Structure 1
Amino acid sequence: MHPHLHTKDNPGCEEIMTALEDCHARGFMWKAIGMCSSLKEDVNKCLRAERLARTAENRERAKEKKAKIQAVWAEIDANS
């Protein structure tokens, strides 16, 4: 697993990622025959859910910022 995935960006997925790392540590054959596939899918689902949550939050902040900018421009237009 990439070290940055265990940081503040994905705290909810740390347990699943650790389980996947433990599975991978069992050796190449364990991975090759698909014994870690379900854990990998769980990690992907968790990371996707967290990414979607961040995207929604960023979208809301962008809407708020846009509304503030439009209000400032409306005030400038009204005073001109």
Structure 2
Amino acid sequence: MHSHLHTPYNANCEEIMTALDECHARGFFHKAIGSCNDIKRDVNKCLAAERYARAKLNRDAAKENRKKIERIWADERAFAEGLSPSPSSSSSSTTASETSAAAGK
């Protein structure tokens, strides 16, 4: 048994879920003989696809956040060791090699 199905997360499955509700509304005997089973399988497939899409978005966002945190940690380690922070995290658009090359000219 599913929890409440008609939520914003499952908006793409609304049509299939409504068809299942209509099938169940026909009565107990109709449900008992398995007339709604195909629709139920379609609902399950749709909900699984929606859940997979949400999980993928969450994973991608978590990976990006992790990259940001690791850059911050690397900069803090570099600062603690007396080194300059990594060029990718500095606000300047020039790298150390570009600066030294420009100074040598």
The two structures share one fold, judged by TM-score above 0.5? yes
Q: Which amino acid aligns with 1:53?
A: A
Take 1:78 and 1:26, find their aligned partners in 2: how far apart are those partners?
A: 69
* TM-score, normalised with respect to structure 2: 0.72
* TM-score, normalised with respect to structure 1: 0.94
Take 2:3 and 2:48, find their aligned partners in 1: how far apart are those partners?
A: 16
Structure 2 residue ranges without an equivalent (≥5): 81-105
| Superposition map of 1:49-68 within 5 A | 49-68=49-68
Higher relative contact order (CA 8 A, sep 6+): 1
**Residue matched to 1:79:** 79
Structure 1 residue ranges without an equivalent (≥5): none
Larger radius of gyration: 2
Residue 20 (structure 1) aligned with residue 20 (structure 2): yes
Q: RMSD of the TM alignment (CA)?
A: 1.0
Residue identity (%): 57
Q: How many residues align?
A: 79
Q: Which amino acid aligns with 1:12?
A: N
SS of corresponding position for 1:34: coil
Deviating beyond 3 angstroms after TM superposition, the runs of 4 or more aligned structure 1 residues are none
Task: Give the structure with the larger helix fraction.
Answer: 1
Q: Which amino acid aligns with 1:57?
A: L
